[in-house]
Amino acid sequence: MRSSPFPLDAAWPTTLADLARRRGWPSFEDPAALGARVREISSVYNEPRTPDFTRARSMLAARLGFSLPRDVAKGACALRELVATGYLLGEPPGRTRFSVLDVGAGLGAMTWGLVHELSRISREAGAATFSVEASLADTDPEAVALALDIARQVSLPGVRLEARAIRVDAARSLPPRAVLGDFDLVLVGQVLSELDVDADCGSRAARHVTLLADLLARVRPGGALVVVEPALRDRTRHLHAVRDALAAQGHPPFAPCLHAGACPILQTPDGWCHEDRAVDLPTWLVPVARAAGLRWQGLTFSYLVLTPEGASMASRFGDATGLLRVVSQRLATKGKEELIACGALPDTPHAVRLRRLDRARSDPNRAWDELQRGDCFTIDAEGAGARREIGRATGVRVCAPVDEHARDRYLEGP
Ligand SMILES: C[S@@+](CC[C@H](N)C(=O)[O-])C[C@H]1O[C@@H](n2cnc3c(N)ncnc32)[C@H](O)[C@@H]1O
């Protein structure tokens, strides 16, 4: 599939440029100047040892002009399964009000990811108007003040956003529920990476398990906790470890995993499982990425979605047995194609390498031709015996494609 730019609403570029101009900062209208700032923040974040997060936080011009519009897409894409299974809008569908706690909100990219999705749903459904009450929780008053300014200026069709700032230090114990309240959605975007960076791996994971379990306890029934992290290896493996410990404590993932067993990639010394979506930067940001020496094609991140009921995306498809998710790129070699899939398999490890010989291409397995990383699919009974081999008689069905433009294929069920 060809990638396409993330369809950020046309309100964004002019508003961001206006906000930057008023502060004397460069905007996308001056790609060379903004690109230099972006290069600087990205070199801080990509520091191989512990990045200087405090320094990165102070680089608000780059965060406003580039990181925010880039990361809204991550927030939106992390909601994919919640939207695709109908969970987000409730059962029966009808939820139109969302109270949101955005932890480590910064400029609010995760909240805007939700607002973007709701605006799209409203446009496609042609009717519903949604309302989002967002509590933007951060330790950095300057960032949150800017976030509130953005919330006052950007308005997306079909969604009324009311934002307020609250001071919460996620590295310490959270205010009690009676004070902080309950929420439909708790969003934790790219902030775990910045917490407890001096702790050793084990105790850091234990602290983050405690934090996420505490946040999950503040999610109302029917709601969700959504955690997004950068796709970097160490940060994603940390998220895998936290996910495993949460699952062992009775909090199975809703997404992206289709099972609550131990994450197979953690059995490897240095593998990690992250998203790589065919979503490019909006075209007006491309010159800035170029000037900063960054790529603009593709969107990478890792994520974890949990619900208070312990619902799983797989269970929304009825009998989840045999449901698989593509977790690799397609690997084509002479005469065959392979991919790695992970899911709820009854009699094999959760991750399997599947292959189809070119000469086994057939009508029943035609969907194999289109499978791409992130797609959820099943293989039918004939395939179940061999598991690893997609033969001529093996039916392949896509249940939830990752491609944003193929929503008509959602919810067919296995
Ligand atoms: C990389 S930014 C992410 C912003 C936004 N959530 C996103 O996904 O784009 C990390 C944010 O976490 C905030 N942060 C760092 N440590 C924090 C803490 N202990 N408690 C609350 N927020 C924190 C920072 O101030 C910063 O705004």
In a shared domain, residues 243 and 341: no
Tell me what the mean pLDDT of segment 13-39 comes to: 97
CA 190 – ligand 1 centroid, Å? 7
Within a domain: residue 2?
Answer: no
CA 137 – ligand 1 centroid, Å? 8
Cβ of 174 below 6 Å from ligand 1: no
Nearest to 407 by CA among 125, 84, 29, 23: 84
Inter-residue contact 97 to 69 (CB < 8 Å): no
In a shared domain, residues 142 and 288: yes
**Domain boundary pick from 286, 312, 338:** 312
In a shared domain, residues 222 and 167: yes
* φ and ψ of 190, to 5 deg: 55, 35
- Residue 269 to residue 377: CA distance in whole angstroms: 28
We report the CATH number of the domain holding residue 402 as 2.40.50
- Give the 3-state secondary structure of residue 311: coil
For residue 256, is the peptide bond before it cis, meaning its omega torsion is within 30 degrees of 0? yes
Within a domain: residue 3?
Answer: no
For residue 92, is the peptide bond before it cis, meaning its omega torsion is within 30 degrees of 0? yes
- Closest ligand 1 atom, residue 106 Cα: 27
Whether pLDDT at 411 is above 80: no
Whether pLDDT at 50 is above 80: no
pLDDT of amino acid 414? 30
DSSP 22-83: HHT---TTSHHHHHHHHHHHHHHHT-SSS--HHHHHT-HHHIIIIIHHHHHHHHHHTTHHHH
Within a domain: residue 372?
Answer: yes
How many other C-beta atoms lie within 10 A of the C-beta of residue 262?
15
* φ and ψ of 340, to 5 deg: -100, 130
In a shared domain, residues 268 and 344: no
Share of the chain above pLDDT 90, in %: 75
We report the CATH number of the domain holding residue 108 as 3.40.50.150
CA-based diameter of the chain, in Å? 65
In a shared domain, residues 384 and 322: yes
Tell me what the mean pLDDT of segment 363-374 comes to: 92
pLDDT tens profile 232-267: 999 999 999 999 999 999 999 999 999 999 999 999
Strand 4-5 to strand 279-280: parallel, antiparallel, or no bridges (unpaired)?
A: parallel
Whether pLDDT at 150 is above 80: yes
pLDDT class of 54 with cuts at 50, 70, 90: confident
In a shared domain, residues 302 and 326: no
Mean pLDDT value across the chain: 90
pLDDT of amino acid 46? 81
Give the range of the structural domain holding residue 378, as residue numbers without chain letter: 318-409
Tokens describing residue 49: 């040892």
pLDDT of amino acid 34? 97
Within a domain: residue 77?
Answer: yes
Tell me what the mean pLDDT of segment 140-165 comes to: 96
Tell me what the mean pLDDT of segment 279-302 comes to: 96
Cβ of 322 below 6 Å from ligand 1: no
pLDDT class of 1 with cuts at 50, 70, 90: low
pLDDT class of 401 with cuts at 50, 70, 90: confident
Cβ of 139 below 6 Å from ligand 1: yes
Angle at CA of residue 85, ends 345 and 382, nearest 5°: 30
In a shared domain, residues 211 and 356: no
pLDDT class of 378 with cuts at 50, 70, 90: confident
Cβ of 105 below 6 Å from ligand 1: yes
Query: For ligand 1, atom 26, which residue shows the shortest CA distance?
Result: 106
With both helix axes pointing from N to C terminus, report the angle between 11-23 and 68-77 in degrees, rounded to the nearest 10: 140
Cβ of 370 below 6 Å from ligand 1: no
In a shared domain, residues 322 and 298: no
- Residue 373 to residue 141: CA distance in whole angstroms: 38
Tell me what the mean pLDDT of segment 286-294 comes to: 97
In a shared domain, residues 202 and 81: yes
pLDDT of amino acid 410? 37
In a shared domain, residues 329 and 206: no
Tell me what the mean pLDDT of segment 40-68 comes to: 88
Whether pLDDT at 12 is above 60: yes
Is this prediction's pTM over 0.75? yes
Cβ of 170 below 6 Å from ligand 1: yes
Overall residue count recorded for the chain in this entry: 414
**Domain boundary pick from 294, 312, 330:** 312
Tokens describing residue 134: 């967002």
Range scoring the smallest mean pLDDT among 102-111, 170-179, 289-298, 394-403: 394-403
Cβ of 71 below 6 Å from ligand 1: yes
In a shared domain, residues 102 and 243: yes
Q: What is the CA radius of gyration of the chain?
A: 21
- Within 180-243, strands assigned E span 183-189, 219-229
Tokens describing residue 378: 């099943």
pLDDT of amino acid 126? 77
Share of the chain above pLDDT 70, in %: 93
**Domain boundary pick from 292, 312, 332:** 312
Within a domain: residue 56?
Answer: yes
With both helix axes pointing from N to C terminus, report the angle between 141-153 and 11-23 in degrees, rounded to the nearest 10: 130
In a shared domain, residues 329 and 308: no
Structural domains of the chain, count: 2
Tell me what the mean pLDDT of segment 255-281 comes to: 93
Range scoring the smallest mean pLDDT among 34-38, 60-64, 123-127, 365-369: 123-127
Within a domain: residue 414?
Answer: no
Within a domain: residue 4?
Answer: no
- Residue 192 to residue 263: CA distance in whole angstroms: 19
Within a domain: residue 217?
Answer: yes
